Structure formats: C-alpha cells, structure tokens
Chains A and B, each alone.
Chain A
Amino acid sequence: MTWLKNALQQGVWPWLCAGSVALSLLMLGALLALLLTRGLGHFWPAALTEVTLNSGDVVAGEAVRDMPLPDQSGSERLYFTGNRDLDDARWRWVATDAIARQAQPENLLRLERRTWGDFIGYLEAVEVNGERFTGDDAWQQVQQALSLPTAQRARYQLTLRTPQGQTLRQSLATVISAEAPNAMHLGEKLGAWGSDVWQFLSQGPRAANTGGGVWPAIFGTMLMVIVMSVIVTPFGVLAAIYLNEIAHQGPLTRLVRVGVRNLAGVPSIVYGVFGLGVFVYGIGGSLDEWFFADALPSPTFGTGGLLWASLTLALLTLPVVIVATEEGLARIPDAQREGAVALGATRLEMLTRVVLPMATPAMLTGVILAVARAAGEVAPLMLVGVAKLAPQMPLDGEFPYLHLERKFMHLGYHLFDTAFHGEDVQAAIPLVYATALLLVLIVLVLNLTAILLRHHLRRQRGSEC
C-alpha cells in the first residue's frame, strides 16, 4: 500500500501534470504544423499522374489523398482532374486496385483558366497569325505569349487534348497561367511556388473562392483595424489618464476599474449586438433620415459598414488599451510627477512632458494587443458590416476616397464563408488553409511584438526604479 502511495505521489501524479503540459504543446504544434503544411503546400506545383484503369479508362490529375474503403478491402484515391467544362466534374475517386498503369508524362499540362477552372491535358497545337506550331515549339510559343498583355493574347488559339482523347479549342486570352509540373526541376518549382504565393497575397478571389487570392480581404482587415486604432487610441488613453491621474482614488474608481477590466471578458458577440442596435439601426438610421433621405429606403449608413465595424471593434478593444495604459502609468514612480510639479509645471505640462513619454511603450503595447484582438475577431463583424464579396473597395480614387459606409471583406469572415458556404468546398479548402495560416501569422506576429515590447519596457523600468 505504502509502495503504491509512494509511486503515485512521486511518479504518477506529477508526470500526469507534466503530461498535460506536453499534450497542450502537442496540440498547439499539431495545429500550427497542419496549417503550415496544408497552407503552404497547396502552392507547390504537384506532380500530375496519368492513370490507366483496368477498364481501359484514362484519368489524369493530381492525386489528393487516399482513403480506406468502408469495408476495409482496399483503398481508393481522390484525383483532381479539372476539365469541368468537358465532363462536368472536377474530382474523381479511383479504387487503387483498379489501376492498371500509372505514368507521369512530362508534357502533361495544367492550365489555369478564367472560366471553368483548371484544365489538365496535353497541348496539341498553337495557331497564331495563320502559323501553326506543334510539339515543343507550341509549348515555347505559349510560354512566351503568356507574358503578353491579355488583349494581344487573343490572337493565339490553342488546340488542347484531354487525356481521354477529346479535343478542345481555346483562346489564350482565357488562360491565366500554364505549367508542366512533371517537367519542372526544383528551382523552377520554387519559382512557381513563390509566384503562386504572391498571387494569393495580391489578387482578388476568382471562381467562387476556389482560385485567386485574398488581397481584398487583407486590405479590408487592415483598413478596418487602422480606422479602429485611430478611434480607440485617443479614447483609451484619455480614459486611462483620467482613471489613473485625475480621478479621486476612492472606492468608486476601484469599482469602475473592475468594471472596465471585466468588459474585456464580455463575449464579442454582445458587442456586435450593441453595434447593430446602437450604431447601425440607431445612429446610422438617423443619419440616413437627416442627410441621405433621397436614397431611402435603400440605406446608406443604416446598414453595416466599415465605420460601424471599426467603432464596434474599438469599443470591444477599449478595455485592452485602458488596462495596458493604466499599467504603464501605475509603474511610473510618483517621485517623477512630484518632481515635475515641484519645478513649477502645471498638471498638463507634467502629463505631456513627463508622464506620457514614459508611458508610451505601454500605450503602444495596448494598441498592438488591441489590433491583434480585432484582427482575429469575426463574430461581431457578422452583425455590423462584413461582406462575402465586396464589389467596391472602401478606399478608392473617388471623392471622398475613404468610403466609411461601404461594406468590406475580412480575412476571418472570408475564411468562414469559403469553408462553410462555398460551392465547391473541396476545391476551396487549400485556399482556406492558406487564409487561416495568414490570419494566424498576422495575429501571432502582432502578439509577439507586444510581448517583446512589454518585456523590453519592464527591463528598462527595472533598472530605473
């Protein structure tokens, strides 16, 4: 009995506790690893396989994954075959037992097209200005022509052949990019990978979010966060200064402080409800009646938009800024304030010349934390102004340049919408992974900056006090 008790106390229980740390780290690591491999791996030019089945059918495409059959008798493999305009499907399941032959021909191409998604097959010929090229010459012509502007590309007519033997004529103007991944060596693949990542970051979504990039969502997120910081910083700092420097430090102040602190724990969706009820329906509705009456009943400010989303998130992140700034203010020794006042400074001068400069890093930390929180927050935005696909950017060359009433796209909501309401979720999933990775990276980098800043600040203060 004593032996068991000893074993439990010295071995089992502490190691169980250690196990929970290990498990948490493992889960975090697994999540990040999953996002990294799936998010970045999607852009890698995958090998294309041509499979001949026992039945004589030919399937060509990218092998996506293997799954065991339900009755455990073997497995089947999912291929991305493209060519949706020809056989009405982009995916094909193939039982691995039914495969007779596999090959990776070097001239198997993958074309990214503006309509119907990808084409996978062979290039038969290219016709330009009456000349006809075949074989390797054709492929060289296509590669050269793809660097031309779209208007000039219309002269090129491609004759394509699917692995099943159908032929298809297509103008080069509808082709965005072409690659022969089986013929690429490592350097070329790296290059293609880089340009695909860049395309993801710099372009708008295409083909029902299954292609293209997320630039409008990145831009919308950034703009919303910037407008939010412009609102939240002065007010948060003002409230913190009031609480810490001006208000009489009594039970009431303490109560308010606890209240503010607790607001950081209130669910974000509640802020969304407040934003919808007060900003959108209340203030926005009144603004519409006063200034945009001729546009009614279609609302201008009386519907979700950039301004209301930023305001809502500003309210949501206000406690973060207040708490961080107050922490910084409280760390400044009273001797500094007394010294300034003793030398004849008024309170304003004391605040602006002595206290605030010393508290700047703390304020900055607060704002960065607020931005990190706002960038990852989606739930309240669903109520106050995010859009699946915003037709117009909220910032453009038209007066007054910044259109606060417009809806905008947001990375987090884009992720949610693509993954759960998309047409072909299967095809969109790789891009969702990439979006999730991007979002996590942004938030983590912001948080790391705040942590490092705070660490730096503490060390600095430590040597001063």
Chain B
Amino acid sequence: MTRARLSSQPLRHLQDRIATALITAGGIGVLLAVLGIGVFLLWEAAPLLLDEELGSLSMLTPLAWGTLKAALMALLFALPLALGAAAYSAFFMSPRLRSRIKPTLEMMEAIPGVVVGFIAGMVLAPWVERHLASTLVVIVWLPLSAGLAGMLWHLASRHWQRRLPLSWAALWLIPWLVAMGMLALWSTPLVEQALWGGDLRRYLYDAFGLDYMTRNALIVGLAMGFAVIPSVYSLAEDALNEVPRPLMEGAQALGASRWQAVIKVALAAAGPGLFSAVMIGAGRAVGETMIVLMASSNTALLSASPFEGMRTMAAAIAIELPEATVGGVTYRMLVLAALVLFLFTFFVNTLAEVVRQRLRRRYQRMGGGA
C-alpha cells in the first residue's frame, strides 16, 4: 500500500533528487571557491618562485621584518592584558558582572580597524610625540599601581575587604587607574628631569642614537594591541572557564590558595587553549591592514627601534597593488606576500583549532566540563 502510494508520486521524489543534487553541487562549489583562494595565489606567485631571478625576493625582507615587528609589538601589549583579563574573569569575577563584562569586551572586536587606525594615527601619535615621557611613565606606572591597589587591599581590614570585594575589583579599579594616570602625568616632568635630564627624546638620541618618528612601532603596538585583545581574551576565557571545577576544588582542598590553584592547576590544564588563543591573536596581528596603514609611517625600514616605523606586507599590498601592472615583478611579489599571509594565518588557525579540539577531549576525560 505505502509503496504503491509512494510510487504514485514520482514527482516528489524527482524533486527531492534534484534538490539534493543541487544542494550538493552548490555546497561543493562554494567550498571549492573558498578553498580556491590558496590555489589562485599559488598559481599567480609560482612564476616568481620558479624564476631564476630570486634576487627580487629580497624586496620582501623589509616587509616581512615590518610585519613581524608590528605583530610582536601588538602582542607584547595585548597578551598580558588579554590573558590577565581572561584569568580574572574566569576565576575571580562575580558571575553577574561577568555576564555583562564579557560581551562588552568581545564587542571591542567589532570596532572597525579603520576607526582604531584613525584614532591611533591622528590623535594618539601626535600626543605621544609631544608627551613621550608621560606615555612611558603611564605605561610603567599603571600596572604597578594596580599591584599597589592589591597590596593595599591585602593590608586593609576585613571590613574594607568585604566592602570592596575582589569579585568586583574590575569596577573599583577604573577610578583608581584614572587617578593614577593623572598622577603619572602630573609627576612626569619630575621623573623626566631626574632620569633623562629633562628631555627624553634628546636623551634617547644621545645615549642610543634612536630617532623618533611620529608614527612608529609603539603606536602600532598600542593600536593593534587594542584590536587583538578581544579575540585573545574571548578564546582564553573560554578555555579557562571550561577547566573542570573539581580540579580547582581538589587543589584548594589540598591546601593551595586560590591563586596557586589558578597558576598550578588551571593554567596547566588550559595551557593548550591559551596557546591557541595566542596563535589566533598572532594571526590577527599579522594580517591587520588598516591600523598599520594609518598608524605606521609605511616606510620599509629594517630597524628594531620601537620609535621608528615600518611597512608591513598587508600595508604594502594595499598601497602598491592597485598600481602594479598585471604579471609584472611587483605584482607577483605582492601576490606572493598575500600567499605568505594566507599560508601563515591558515597554518596558525589550523594549529589552534586542532589544539582546541584535543583540549576539549581532554577536559571530557577529566570530568566533563564545568
């Protein structure tokens, strides 16, 4: 009976077959098109690689150096902040606050690079140029002052510790940091006089031969660090938050303090997750275009000084490719730069993904998530 009815509706089944075939074709087509990016880049850059005149590859050296320098500066600034923030919000923050703060910080990721680059290049860079000493003092003093706040809190009476609990410390610290920043700005002339003879830039030039450019690696590091923080934070926080609670509780039951449990147990357990978060951050920092374009001087220099600019591969592509003649050496070289970026980020992301999947399986063995 059923069979008879089904066969009496050949149209439905035909439709189904056709639709399945279409979806399959469409799906595979899309996936191929997406994966075709690598093939295209390889195809276009191949003549350069096979060519005899490998000398032209040396044009890439300053670009690769610039890319590495920019990414390193960004990570230097972003990693301590992002990982510290992740550790705090996974283990110390009150859940109510966490449910507000985490989406807010993740929202930072959505701020377009061109806006961050504009602020960095047009507002931050001129300010830092005029107040280099203040900037350095603030950068050193703010973390110290947060630590000082912790020390004061530790020394304070029980009453005050309860009034200002650690679980809301992220909020208490905002006015404190603002005040400390003000203090740092106010005291800068004294510090500058005492340490660097009144003019930091002249001191840097005299003592180390360092030139100062308005748009430099320091600015790029700050701006790109700002852009990298949210992605590293988000992934690291997830990894730390998924550490099975019994592990932490066991460590504390055996006499470890909360901080010891975080360092010795949680960081060890979530290590691969943190590694993959750092990798994703590195991938982002290497490929970011607009921020580098707007906040660095875009001069291809081979210098390690944080006060000089650089030109990264991504910025070089954005500036030079529209003018390059198709098939010329510059064109192929820029495509090669794109290929390098593509392979690097693809490799790094795959590594991160594999590590993360391993980690998830490990957590399941250890006692099934939080």
Cβ distance A317 to chain B, nearest Cβ, rounded Å: 11
Residues in A neighbouring B177, C-beta threshold 8 A = 19, 22-23, 26
Contact status A269-B317, CB under 8 Å: yes
Cβ distance A315 to chain B, nearest Cβ, rounded Å: 7
Contact status B41-A273, CB under 8 Å: yes
- Residues facing B in A415-465 (CB within 8 A) are 415-416, 419-420, 425, 429, 432, 436, 439-440, 443-444, 447-448, 451
- One of B49-57, B148-156, B245-253, B265-273 at the interface: B148-156
Complex Cα distance, B289 from A252, in Å, reads 33
Contact status A13-B259, CB under 8 Å: yes
Residues in A neighbouring B118, C-beta threshold 8 A = 415-416, 419, 432, 436
Whether A277 sits at the interface, judged by CB under 8 Å, is yes
Whether B362 sits at the interface, judged by CB under 8 Å, is no
Complex Cα distance, B119 from A429, in Å, reads 11
Given A25-B170, A273-B41, are A447 and B107 also a contact pair (CB < 8 Å)? Answer: yes
Contact status B41-A420, CB under 8 Å: no
Given A7-B151, A7-B154, A348-B19, are A17 and B345 also a contact pair (CB < 8 Å)? Answer: no
Residues in B neighbouring A263, C-beta threshold 8 A = 34, 37, 346
User: Per-residue CB proximity of A4-23 to B under 8 Å, as 1/0?
Assistant: 00110111111111111111
Q: Is the interface of A mostly helix, strand, loop or mixed?
A: helix
User: Per-residue CB proximity of B204-245 to A under 8 Å, as 1/0?
Assistant: 000000000000000000000010010001000000000000
Whether A55 sits at the interface, judged by CB under 8 Å, is no
Contact status B289-A269, CB under 8 Å: yes
Residues in B neighbouring A12, C-beta threshold 8 A = 147, 150-151, 154
- Tell me the nearest residue of chain A to B314, going by C-beta: A269
Residues in B neighbouring A277, C-beta threshold 8 A = 40, 44, 335
Contact status B318-A272, CB under 8 Å: yes
Contact status B34-A382, CB under 8 Å: no
User: Per-residue CB proximity of B173-202 to A under 8 Å, as 1/0?
Assistant: 110111000000000000000000000000
Whether A319 sits at the interface, judged by CB under 8 Å, is yes
Complex Cα distance, B347 from A266, in Å, reads 10
Whether A158 sits at the interface, judged by CB under 8 Å, is no
Cβ distance A141 to chain B, nearest Cβ, rounded Å: 42
- One of A124-132, A185-193, A253-261 at the interface: A253-261
Whether B59 sits at the interface, judged by CB under 8 Å, is no
Partner of B110, one of A27, A383, A444: A444
Contact status A9-B341, CB under 8 Å: no
Complex Cα distance, B338 from A262, in Å, reads 16
Contact status B113-A15, CB under 8 Å: no
Residues in A neighbouring B294, C-beta threshold 8 A = 416, 419-420
Residues in B neighbouring A6, C-beta threshold 8 A = 154
Contact status B350-A258, CB under 8 Å: yes
Complex Cα distance, B44 from A322, in Å, reads 28
Contact status A265-B89, CB under 8 Å: no
Whether B31 sits at the interface, judged by CB under 8 Å, is yes
- Residues facing A in B2-25 (CB within 8 A) are 6, 12-13, 15-16, 19-20, 23-24
Whether A346 sits at the interface, judged by CB under 8 Å, is yes
Cβ distance A100 to chain B, nearest Cβ, rounded Å: 29
Residues in B neighbouring A239, C-beta threshold 8 A = 26-27, 30-31
Whether A34 sits at the interface, judged by CB under 8 Å, is yes
Contact status B114-A9, CB under 8 Å: no
Complex Cα distance, B232 from A24, in Å, reads 13
Whether A295 sits at the interface, judged by CB under 8 Å, is no
- One of A90-98, A209-217, A371-379, A399-407 at the interface: A371-379
Interface Cβ pair total, 8 Å cutoff: 320
Contact status B26-A270, CB under 8 Å: no
Partner of B146, one of A10, A16, A261, A443: A16
Residues in A neighbouring B226, C-beta threshold 8 A = 27, 31
Cβ distance B113 to chain A, nearest Cβ, rounded Å: 7
Among B84, B103, B153, B258, residue most surrounded by chain A Cβ atoms (within 10 Å)? B84
Partner of B346, one of A22, A266, A347, A376: A266
Whether B132 sits at the interface, judged by CB under 8 Å, is no
Cβ distance B16 to chain A, nearest Cβ, rounded Å: 4
Whether A242 sits at the interface, judged by CB under 8 Å, is yes
Contact status A246-B24, CB under 8 Å: yes
User: Per-residue CB proximity of B290-314 to A under 8 Å, as 1/0?
Assistant: 1001100000000000000000001
Interface size on A, as a range, is 35 or more
Cβ distance B71 to chain A, nearest Cβ, rounded Å: 11
Residues in A neighbouring B229, C-beta threshold 8 A = 24
- Tell me the nearest residue of chain B to A455, going by C-beta: B103
User: Per-residue CB proximity of B52-93 to A under 8 Å, as 1/0?
Assistant: 000000000000000000000000000011101101110011
Complex Cα distance, B151 from A13, in Å, reads 9
Partner of B88, one of A14, A258, A272: A14
Complex Cα distance, B104 from A415, in Å, reads 25
User: Per-residue CB proximity of B145-168 to A under 8 Å, as 1/0?
Assistant: 111011111110000000000100
Whether A268 sits at the interface, judged by CB under 8 Å, is yes
Partner of A15, one of B26, B115, B147: B147
Complex Cα distance, B105 from A425, in Å, reads 32
Partner of B114, one of A34, A315, A378: A378
Contact status B111-A31, CB under 8 Å: yes
Cβ distance A443 to chain B, nearest Cβ, rounded Å: 5
Complex Cα distance, B68 from A63, in Å, reads 43
Partner of A265, one of B6, B41, B284, B293: B284
Contact status A11-B318, CB under 8 Å: no
Contact status A347-B20, CB under 8 Å: yes
- Residues facing A in B97-114 (CB within 8 A) are 101, 103-105, 107-108, 110-114
CB<8 Å pairs between A and B, sample of 17: A9-B259, A14-B166, A15-B150, A19-B84, A24-B85, A31-B116, A34-B119, A236-B30, A242-B26, A246-B20, A262-B353, A271-B37, A346-B13, A346-B16, A377-B112, A378-B113, A447-B107
B residues neighboring A (CB under 8 Å): 6, 12-13, 15-16, 19-20, 23-24, 26-28, 30-31, 33-35, 37, 40-41, 44, 80-82, 84-85, 87-89, 92-93, 101, 103-105, 107-108, 110-119, 121-123, 142-143, 145-147, 149-155, 166, 169-171, 173-174, 176-178, 226, 229, 233, 257-260, 280, 283-284, 286-290, 293-294, 314, 317-318, 321-322, 326, 334-335, 338, 341-342, 345-346, 348-350, 353-354
Those 6 A-B pairs whose CB atoms lie nearest each other, nearest first = A267-B287, A242-B27, A19-B146, A15-B150, A11-B154, A376-B112
A residues neighboring B (CB under 8 Å): 6-7, 9-28, 31, 34-35, 235-236, 238-239, 241-243, 245-247, 256, 258-263, 265-274, 276-278, 281, 315, 318-319, 322, 344, 346-349, 351, 372, 375-379, 382-383, 412-413, 415-416, 419-420, 425, 429, 432, 436, 439-440, 443-444, 447-448, 451
